[in-house]
């Protein structure tokens, strides 16, 4: 069983990668794997793999390795994938449109239930069966539906205002794609995904490789 001790943020960041690799191994019919083999697949040391798994009670056996099914189940629970998390996307432009059409979110338990925008050319459009609503309808929607996560794909100059609206409506988790830092109450969980930052890191690594 998963232990109750707190897992470090660095391990938590690696858990989705472990889950993807282990799920693939399951699909391939592989029932056990050593820390060395898994580390080689993921670009990690065997020691790092062992430390990460030990932090949540995933202990391998000498000469046997790790039970792939067990690890998948435990990481699945740790990541909260046993529950359905409802999302609304605010910003139905190119990025919001692409995220709304991403079917893998549903498979992982993250269900998009609403899409909002302010652009009259986008309001009324349907994306995967969901009609884009005006942002003015968000308050009524949030009061009549359980909304766990707000996904912000709005322009930079609107991000703080929209984030404040989301917080005032009692939505406690925000996935922020806008390139600004949001100053919100401590009880609001914010996950920032700044795409340009990722490209800059890629650019640095390309430079280092010559």
> Is pLDDT at 62 greater than 70 in this prediction?
no
Question: pTM to 2 decimals?
Answer: 0.82
pLDDT in tens, 69-96: 999 999 999 998 888 999 999 999 999 9
Same CATH fold assignment for domains 9-78 and 85-197: no
* Among the listed residues 67, 105, 80, the one whose alpha carbon sits nearest the alpha carbon of residue 7: 80
pLDDT tens profile 40-49: 999 999 999 9
| Superfamily grouping for domain 85-197 | NAD(P)-binding Rossmann-like Domain (3.40.50.720)
Q: What is the pLDDT of residue 41?
A: 92
On whether the 9-78 domain is CATH 3.30.200.20, my answer is: no
Average pLDDT on 97-117 reads: 92
Give the start-to-end residue ranges of the domains of the chain. 9-78, 85-197
């Amino acid at each position: 069983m998963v232990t109750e001790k707190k897992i470090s943020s660095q391990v938590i960041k690696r858990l989705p990668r472990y889950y993807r690799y282990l799920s693939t191994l399951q699909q391939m019919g592989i029932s056990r794997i050593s820390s060395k083999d898994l580390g080689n697949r993921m670009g990690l040391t065997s020691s790092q793999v062992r430390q990460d798994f030990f932090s949540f009670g995933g202990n391998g056996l000498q000469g046997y390795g790790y039970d792939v099914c067990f690890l998948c189940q435990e990481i699945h629970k740790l990541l909260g994938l046993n529950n359905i998390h409802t999302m609304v996307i605010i910003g139905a432009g190119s990025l919001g449109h692409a995220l709304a059409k991403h079917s893998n979110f549903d498979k992982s338990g993250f269900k998009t239930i609403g899409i909002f925008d302010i652009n009259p050319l986008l309001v009324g459009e349907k994306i995967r069966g969901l009609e884009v609503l005006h942002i003015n309808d968000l308050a009524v929607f949030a009061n009549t539906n359980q909304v766990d996560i707000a996904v912000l794909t709005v322009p930079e100059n609107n991000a703080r205002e929209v984030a404040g609206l989301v917080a005032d409506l009692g939505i406690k988790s925000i996935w922020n794609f806008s390139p600004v830092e949001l100053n919100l109450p401590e009880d609001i969980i914010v996950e920032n995904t700044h795409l340009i930052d990722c490209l800059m890191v890629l650019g640095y690594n390309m430079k280092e490789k010559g």
